[in-house]
Structure 1
Amino acid sequence: MPVEGRRHVTRLSISYTFSVVVVGKNVLNQKTELQKALEKQKDNLAKKELESYIASKTPELEKVIADRAKRLQSSTDKDEDDKVINKELLEVRMKLKPRNDVK
């Protein structure tokens, strides 16, 4: 069994060496920070272009409806946050109330 595992590792090593030296291909897919930043920038630019293209093709009524939906969603998110804060405030008040009654 150990011999078979060793053969597999040797084949991988030979394949890696061939890819790097002869073909010049980076097998491990390691990228420099600059390459990563450029890819991220290209992806963001492509997303923005797609959004602007879609926005230019949508009718005005759909834009208004989408805008209202975003506003409603943001207001409901804000309401949920307020409810959580109010619950926490009530819990703290309930804990403090018995202390005040003792005085």
Structure 2
Amino acid sequence: MNLPKVVADLVLAQNNFDSVGYATCFSETAVVFDEGKTHNGRKEIAHWIADANERYKATMKPISFEENETESLLKVEVSGDFDGSPVVLSYHLEIADEWIQSLKITG
């Protein structure tokens, strides 16, 4: 599967539980929506993913990737320490200037 570099970097960082590397895939003003919460900016995103890594130990296996003019959709199989693992999640991404501007994770 041919992923944009920033998306491939995001998956690699997640699978290595590298919260700092994960957060650096986002712009300084990026927004993440996950589990009913909004995380604004790279610092909040770094705290959110560090906490999620500690709680869930989740790894990602890309299943499909689609791009259009306004949004990219990455479907991943996520495995970890949570009920129902593994689960397929959709990562709705807005990418600009080689940075993730927004991410919304849905089931």
**Structure number, greater radius of gyration:** 1
The one of the two structures with greater contact order (alpha-carbon pairs below 8 A, sep at least 6) is 2
Higher strand content, 1 or 2:
2
Both proteins in one fold, TM over 0.5: no
TM-score after normalising by structure 1: 0.23
TM-score after normalising by structure 2: 0.22
